[in-house]
Amino acid sequence: MDKQVRVRFAPSPTGALHIGGARTAYFNWLFARQQQGVFVLRIDDTDRARSTEESYRQILDSFRWLGIDWDEGPDCGGPYGPYRQSERTEIYRNHLQRLIAEGKVYPCFCSAEQLQADREEAAREGRPSRYSGRCRDLSAEERERRLAAGEPHVYRLRTDATGETVVHDLIRGDVVFQNSEIDDFIVWKADDSPTYHFASCVDDLAMRISHVIRAEEHLSNTPRHVTLFEAFGSEAPAFAHVPMILAPDRSKLSKRHGATSVSEYREMGILPEALVNYLLLLGFSPGDDREIVDRETAIEVFSLDRVAKHAAVYDVKKLEWLNAHYFRAQSPDVVVGQIWDELVRFGYVAANEVDRHVLAWIRTVVEFVQTRSRNAADLIDGMRPYFEGITAYDDKGVRKQFSDPATPERLRAVAQRLAGVAPFTAPVIESSFRALIDELGLKAGQLIHPVRLALTGVTVGPGLFDVIAMLGREEACQRLEIAAERIASGTVATK
């Protein structure tokens, strides 16, 4: 490319970062990184009534969590700042004055009531609603007189209603708009502030933005933006409009379909690696059948010509599958760190735990349960049997392992044997346990499997003798006695 690639994402701090916005930002970021370009984070906070500092901080935090970093922005600055639109009013005003001086904009004094009457008349006559041009050709004297009198007004851009505007979209190809559909639109509001369109174009111009990659809902605005760039005597950036994200029923994605913001997914236990992988696949094809695409690979394969033209359909099952992959691929030590506060909260471990045996046991349980978990919540739920009393047992396991009438007595025999084991370590426990198997004339599985189910409520898990050692003598014996009593009395609850 002839000039440096500079892209931007400009969220409004009026709420949490939506996954649609996060995907658009990720596509911008990937394009910038692949092209050795610059990714600019710009904050569109001109809506003073709805913009909040809390939302601003939450948006930045969501990007950091996703691993989407920026080269220029409100917190780190850059050569074309400031990067918050609320701090750029003088820049916008200077650009407006330039257009006024060149006669490319004019003040419009039409009241809201007049404009509404115009719209109603157009509707009655079956015409498209567009500005009538009532104030377009006022004499200079009348304009100056009304301005001097302080009459409320906006500024409109003079547009040419003839011909057509062709937008060369890098995803959709050429999109043609009839100029007759573009009226003299407002660029400066009556409250002495710029419109979204004006501020956005001025910022893109001033910040040397080369490519505007944004949601397709902005496609209809593009001819206005092209017209504004022409008014400034500048070439418009290249445009690329990414497809919408639809719900499974192909309606607009909303909260009724589940989580829609990055912060909600984070709270659900979705990993950032899984979420950006999923966002990539929403409307983009890597060029083969692969579905696991990490950031480094995504940078290599990303191309705007592989972004789909049609809407992407949200699939929570795919996201959960991806999350399970990334969750299980983490080292157990990393996972322990992720869930440590929850382990402390549930009382499974002390906040300042230093006992290496306890820490090793936690890692052992995590390593085992992790392979069967989709996320941290699943993992902690799967760890409960090793740290809490058993209230229910695996249904299939109960039918298979607790059906023998001799099981209660065998469990009590194990409890009695454990009561005398010393030292209470896994090797000594195993030796005593296997001796009991021989004494009872059983096969190993006939005792090991019922004991595991009685102790943990499940049929699979870490090594049984490690489990017994970490539960401790008193807890292990108590669980065996409770299970024996429940089996004998027919009160075994299943899950």
Q: Which CATH number do you get for residue 277?
A: 1.10.1160.10
Q: What is the mean pLDDT of residues 49-58?
A: 94
pLDDT of residue 441: 96
Q: Is residue 36 included in any domain, yes or no?
A: no
Residue 487 and residue 408 in one domain: yes
For residue 73, is it within any domain? no
| Domain closes at, from 352, 371, 387 | 387
Does residue 414 register a pLDDT over 90?
yes
110 belongs to an annotated ligand binding site: yes
The pLDDT value recorded for residue 2 is 62
Tokens at 324, concatenated: 């399970």
In what helix (H) or strand (E) does residue 80 lie, and over which residues does it extend? Answer: none
Q: Is there a single domain that holds both residue 273 and residue 346?
A: no
Same domain? For 379 and 399 the reply is no
Least-confidence region, from 186-190, 209-213, 247-251: 247-251
What pLDDT is attached to residue 289? 87
252 is in an annotated binding site: no
Residue 258's pLDDT band (cuts 50, 70, 90): low
- Same-domain status, 217 and 299: no
- For the cut 70, the answer to whether the pLDDT of residue 336 exceeds it is yes
- Give residue 249's pLDDT: 87
pTM, full prediction: 0.87
Q: Is 315 annotated as a binding residue?
A: no
- Beta-carbon neighbour count of residue 233 at 10 Å? 9
Q: Under DSSP, is residue 493 helix (H, G, I), strand (E, B) or coil?
A: coil
Residue 342 and residue 287 share a domain: no
The CATH number that applies at residue 101 is 3.40.50.620
400 is in an annotated binding site: no
Where is the domain boundary, 189, 221, 242?
Answer: 242
| Mean pLDDT in residue range 14-26 | 96
Evaluate whether residue 322 is within a structural domain.
Answer: yes
Question: In the chain, what is the greatest distance between 2 CA atoms, to the nearest angstrom?
Answer: 114
pLDDT band for position 255 (50/70/90)? low
pLDDT band at 306 (very low <50, low <70, confident <90, very high): very high
Coil vs helix vs strand at 379: helix
> Which of 216, 242, 268 is a domain's end point?
242
Q: Is residue 133 part of a domain?
A: yes
pLDDT per position as a tens digit, 151-170 = 999 999 999 999 999 999 99
For residues 332 and 461, give the distance between their C-alpha atoms in angstroms, rounded to a whole number.
15
- What percentage of the chain carries pLDDT values higher than 70? 99
CA distance 27 to 9: 10
- What is the domain count for the chain? 4
Residue 189 annotated as part of some ligand binding site: no
- Arithmetic mean of pLDDT, 427-439: 98
Q: What is the CATH number of the domain that holds 423?
A: 1.10.10.350
Do 290 and 304 fall within a single domain? Answer: yes
Q: Which of the two residues, 76 and 2, has the higher pLDDT score?
A: 76
Whether 355 and 282 share a structural domain: no
| Model pLDDT, residue 253 | 81
User: In Å, how far are 131, 163, 164, 218, 235 from 176, measured between CA atoms?
Assistant: 21, 10, 7, 15, 18
Are 339 and 379 contacting, i.e. CB atoms less than 8 angstroms apart?
A: yes
Residue range 234-262: mean pLDDT, rounded: 88
Residue 49 maps to a domain: no
Q: Tell me how far apart the terminal alpha carbons of the chain are, to the nearest angstrom.
A: 61
Residue 149 and residue 104 share a domain = yes
Is 400 among the catalytic positions? no
Residues 378 and 289 in one domain: no
- Per the model's pLDDT, the better-predicted residue between 388 and 329 turns out to be 329
> Quick one: 411 and 380 in the same domain?
no
Residue 35 lies in a domain: no
Interacting residues of 16 by C-beta distance below 8 A, sequence separation 6+? 55, 58, 59, 62, 261, 262, 263, 264
Q: Are residues 221 and 320 in the same domain?
A: no
Residue 377 lies in a domain: yes
Handedness of CA 443, 446, 448, 451 (dihedral sign): negative
For residue range 375-402, list pLDDT tens digits in order. Answer: 999 999 999 988 988 999 999 999 999 9
Mean pLDDT of 437-449: 97
189-217 burial code (b ≥16 CB/10 A, e <16): eeeebbbebbbbbbbbbebebbbbbbbbe
Q: pLDDT tens, 463-492?
A: 999 999 989 999 999 999 999 999 999 999
Do residues 369 and 431 share a domain? no
- Given 3, 189, 255, 317, the catalytic residue: 255
Q: Is 460 left (phi over 0), alpha (psi -120 to 50) or beta?
A: beta
Residue 60: inside a domain, yes or no? no
Per the structure, the complete domain to which residue 378 belongs is given by: 331-387
